[in-house]
């Protein structure tokens, strides 16, 4: 199969999502009518909007917001800024959010947004004007009861503050619960920034327990050292794991004795890159990815494990911190190698779980201690891990298909209960 499919087809995120959905739906004997409903997004919004740039010229931007399903609650999903954002990518990410929210059993559906731009070449003022105009273009379709955006690639808490302010100005009053991932002083939640990394750490812990492997000295390689990867690496390092490799877009580091993540974080803060860190060997990122380790954490972008490198992966466990890091073809290769894969829709769901906590706190107007956020997050991640591995054992499937089956089952059950409005 790996030889008969083009790489372009293999790495299309919507095709990858559809392949997993179809396989899981067949395993579930899903009602064909529900299959039709869940097989495509419920709403796709494409907007083209002008922004005045710093030099006075007008640039036209294209933005997307896709809502895959709102059967279980408001849409939930990030907004990404990148030059290569596509509608297929946003569609896939929206559907993954539907399954992710269902796997951890929180009352959200799936959504996602994006704007085609190069944020690295834009000033802060240009980014703010673009964000506010994009928000105004999709304002009818977002809101605390409709669809709640969050940060994603190249967006952050400042972006969310601009969206919240723009939405609030249109509503005529402050609406903190329209987005999550905001600064603390305007309705953000304690523990939100580290939540995805913390969830990954919980899944690593649970995977080792399940496989009867020791935690102390467990060798970890992390691909991607942004918010997710760096927080996961730091939390694992502090818990006694040995982080032996870091792979970034511009190069990698390797030290079989372990990398001091606190030193590396300080180095990156000072230099803007991990390159040149003195206490590890510089190694090309693609080589770091296939080095021998106990746990590999792809925590950056989609399609980093494909038919081109899956046969060379030497990890015992893969915990997916990114969305869609493994293609469907690569899944088959990893299964043949008997690698224990914890799929993205479970492994990186700590972020959306903490977003749910933030939304709840905003709506209550009452904010929790960080210890409460961490305890609730860890309990949900542990329970969800147990649900998925039990489902995998009961149905004789791998963890990814089990997670999809569990999620689809929950969403389908809700749709049947609600019925089809006509």
User: Is residue 76 among the annotated active site residues?
Assistant: no
11 and 306 Cβ atoms separated by less than 8 Å: yes
The closest alpha carbon to 135, from 107, 108, 161, belongs to 161
pLDDT (0 to 100) of residue 5: 60
Long-range Cβ pairs for the range 46-53 (8 Å, 24+):
46/87, 47/134, 47/137, 47/138, 49/133, 49/134, 49/137, 50/133, 51/126, 51/129, 51/130, 51/133, 52/129, 53/126
What residues contact 231, with CB distance under 8 A and at least 6 apart?
A: 193, 194, 196, 197, 198
40-186: CATH topology is Rossmann fold (3.40.50)
Whether the per-residue pLDDT at 2 is higher than 60: the answer is: no
Same fold, 40-186 and 195-347: yes
Four-CA torsion 39, 97, 345, 329, nearest 10 degrees: 40
Find out if CATH 3.40.50.720 is the number for domain 195-347. Answer: yes
What does the domain layout of the chain look like in residue ranges?
40-186, 195-347
Active-site choice (100, 112, 193, 242): 112
329 and 9 Cβ atoms separated by less than 8 Å: no
Phi, psi at residue 268, to the nearest 5°? -65, -40
| Residue tagged 């709102």 (tokens) | 70
pLDDT per residue as tens digits for the range 221-273: 999 999 999 999 999 999 999 999 999 988 999 999 999 999 999 999 999 99
| Residue tagged 């809502």 (tokens) | 67
Whether the per-residue pLDDT at 93 is higher than 80: the answer is: yes
For residue 6, name the pLDDT band (cuts at 50, 70, 90): low
CA distance between the termini of the chain: 42
pLDDT-above-70 percentage for the chain: 99
pLDDT per residue as tens digits for the range 150-186: 999 899 999 999 999 999 999 999 999 999 999 999 9
pLDDT per residue as tens digits for the range 125-149: 999 999 999 999 999 999 999 999 9
């Amino acid at each position: 199969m790996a030889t008969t499919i083009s790489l372009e087809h293999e790495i299309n995120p919507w095709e990858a999502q559809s392949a997993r959905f179809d396989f899981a739906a067949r395993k579930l004997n899903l009602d064909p009518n529900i299959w039709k409903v869940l097989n495509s997004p419920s709403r796709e919004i494409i907007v083209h909007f002008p922004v005045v740039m710093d030099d006075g010229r007008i640039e036209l931007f294209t933005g997307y917001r896709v809502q895959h399903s709102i059967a279980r609650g408001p849409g939930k999903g990030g907004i990404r800024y990148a030059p290569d954002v596509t509608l297929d990518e946003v569609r896939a990410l929206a559907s993954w959010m539907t399954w992710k929210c269902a796997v951890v059993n929180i009352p959200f559906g799936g959504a996602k947004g994006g704007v085609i731009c190069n944020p690295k070449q834009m000033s802060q003022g240009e980014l703010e004007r673009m964000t506010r105009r994009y928000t105004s273009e999709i304002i009818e379709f977002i809101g605390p009861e409709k669809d709640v955006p969050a940060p994603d690639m190249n967006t952050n808490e400042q972006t969310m503050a601009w969206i919240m302010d723009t939405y609030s100005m249109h509503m005529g009053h402050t609406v903190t619960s329209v987005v999550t991932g905001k600064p603390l002083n305007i309705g953000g939640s304690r523990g939100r920034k580290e939540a995805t990394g913390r969830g990954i750490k919980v899944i690593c812990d649970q995977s080792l327990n399940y496989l009867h492997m020791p935690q102390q000295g467990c060798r970890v390689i992390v691909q991607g050292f942004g918010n997710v990867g760096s927080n996961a690496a730091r939390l694992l390092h502090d818990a006694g794991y040995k982080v032996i490799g870091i792979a970034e877009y511009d190069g990698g580091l390797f030290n079989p004795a372990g990398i001091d993540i606190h030193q590396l974080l300080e180095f990156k803060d000072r230099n803007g890159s991990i390159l040149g860190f003195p206490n590890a060997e510089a190694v090309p990122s693609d080589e770091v990815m296939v080095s021998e380790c106990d746990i590999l954490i792809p925590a950056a972008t989609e399609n980093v494990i494909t038919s081109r490198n899956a046969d060379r992966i030497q990890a015992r466990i893969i915990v997916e911190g990114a969305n869609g890091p493994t293609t469907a073809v690569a899944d088959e290769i990893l299964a043949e190698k008997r690698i224990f894969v914890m799929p993205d829709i479970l492994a990186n769901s700590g972020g959306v779980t903490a977003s749910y906590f933030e939304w709840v706190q905003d709506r209550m107007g009452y904010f929790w201690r960080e210890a409460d956020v961490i305890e609730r997050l860890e309990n949900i991640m542990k329970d969800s891990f147990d649900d998925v591995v039990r489902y995998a054992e009961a149905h004789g499937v791998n963890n990814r298909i089990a997670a999809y089956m569990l999620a689809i089952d929950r969403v389908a059950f809700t749709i049947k209960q609600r019925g089809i409005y006509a």
